[in-house]
A and B are shown apart, each in its own frame.
Chain A
């Protein structure tokens, strides 16, 4: 895995900084609202990490990630609210069901790639959107969705601590995983699938593992998000804008780097939040699109590469 001292230092600093954020609120340096925005950023970061594991490395671009997130969210919501399953059990079960959903997304990836694969995953999301409204609306809540779902935390600080701990654990876990030879194999898969097969590796198995890990993270984040919000609405869940937000977060952060998507998620969430007072409507997305485009043109490898380059220059000078 080849870990160096600066990896430990960087992770240590990141974890300490994130966990100490609520103290800034105590000191009056930060509002509780900012903490709530950070909670949103943490969940977006997990979705972006999930997307990154599947699409950032292997090149199988998913346009239907809410399909997986939705399975996790609906899974635990229905189990806990309609069947009285305790949350401690409903969340792991929902994650398990999402992983089965990940294998469903794998099926088209066995035969098609590129834009065809992206379109099929988009179809999965639309299909899910229609299905939850039509099939057993008594369970899914139909068009209106579900509310009154058990929440796990009270208050911004507790919600933040839960979200940030989850996010850091997921980020660290995926980051370590991608530093193994498995991560290298996934990179290689995205660059030349035939050559991976020609090196004696089963590409189906590699893809299956990537999809399972991605689904695990999507299901986990989706399930915890629903128990934070306490409600679930299909229109918001299976929204093309949320797809784009996830992809843009991963891309402008730095696809394939795991940490990049986290940076991208925080950047995007705060950008949208800061724009809100000036542009309350959908115009915000225009600005966000423009910022993303400029950033992407400046450095296609994202914020991660910009920071990495800056640090290297500083290091070289010191």
Chain B
């Protein structure tokens, strides 16, 4: 179920601002990598480029052997890469089950019309991320932030990804909710899922990753084992905002 995600010499410029500066890294199949850095470092911009929501200025992105840099977002999802969003994006007026249903749909109108919904799979995904049976008919308006993140995970899982990009999955969660999401990520890791995870909550992130990549102002400043990366002088400086000599 896994594949290798490779980002090579990725550059993204917004006018005069370089949001991603010659970024290269690889996430091996079954590996979990943390992407850390201060606010505005360009972590989410990298996610957006991997997903094709923002087109890179230059550079390539590969999933396994295949280059996906020129594909549309749905086409990339079909190749097996999927993401969650920092701010959850549920469909507010339809139920939890229907939200998951959208993720499960084939990208073919004909099949959408002729084949019914797979309610068992919807239920299975909802229960897998920690929803109760009764939650299936609730709408996102009735859900807590933790539940919305679970829903986001369920819809992402529904697209049957090989690589999951998780963007600030712990933001706005209670301690208990963090534990639930962590346990879910651990379970998926045990099953061989490949992860690239962005989080400000380093304490929660540490046990979920095999190694870390630190970036600042769009540039990679450190890569390696979490303890080494976090001990790096440049990384500490970027978090404290001292501009490199703090």
Contacts and interface: CB of A to CB of B under 8 A. Distances in A.
Nearest to B109: A209
A182 interface: yes
Contacts of A191: 91-94
Interface residues of B, number: 32
Interface centre among B89, B91, B92 (most CB of A within 10 A): B91
Contacts of A311: none
Interface in B75-90: 77-78, 82-83, 85, 89-90
A181 B77 CA distance: 19
A224 B72 CA distance: 41
A85 B78 CA distance: 47
Given A177-B113, A206-B109, A195 B101 contact: no
B44 to A, nearest CB: 13
Interface in B58-103: 72-74, 77-78, 82-83, 85, 89-94, 98-99, 101-103
A241 interface: no
A84 interface: no
B94 A182 contact: no
B242 interface: no
Interface in B182-227: none
Contacts of A206: 109
A205 B107 contact: yes
A187 B102 CA distance: 10
B91 A195 contact: yes
Contacts of A199: 77, 102-103, 105, 155, 158-159
A178 to B, nearest CB: 10
Contacts of A201: 74, 102, 105, 107
A188 B155 CA distance: 13
B83 A198 contact: yes
B89 A187 contact: no
Contacts of B113: 177, 180-182
Contact of B107 (A184, A202, A209): A202
Contact of A184 (B73, B89, B94): B94
Given A187-B91, A194-B53, A205-B107, A182 B85 contact: no
A177 B114 CA distance: 10
B103 to A, nearest CB: 5
A187 B94 contact: yes
Given A184-B94, A194-B53, A200 B112 contact: no
A199 B73 CA distance: 9
A180 B106 CA distance: 13
B51 A198 contact: yes
B10 to A, nearest CB: 20
A185 interface: yes
Nearest to A203: B74
Contact of B109 (A182, A188, A192): A182
A202 B112 CA distance: 13
Contacts of B73: 197-198, 200
Contacts of A180: 112-113, 116
B143 to A, nearest CB: 15
Given A181-B101, A182-B109, A184-B94, A200 B116 contact: no
A254 to B, nearest CB: 13
B112 A194 contact: no
B233 to A, nearest CB: 37
A196 B82 CA distance: 12
Interface of A: 1-2, 177, 180-182, 184-185, 187-188, 191-192, 194-202, 205-206, 209
Interface of B: 51, 53, 72-74, 77-78, 82-83, 85, 89-94, 98-99, 101-103, 105, 107, 109, 112-113, 115-117, 155, 158-159
23 contacts: A180-B113, A181-B116, A181-B117, A182-B109, A182-B113, A185-B105, A188-B91, A188-B99, A191-B93, A191-B94, A192-B91, A195-B90, A195-B91, A198-B51, A198-B82, A199-B159, A200-B73, A200-B74, A200-B105, A202-B74, A205-B107, A205-B109, A209-B109
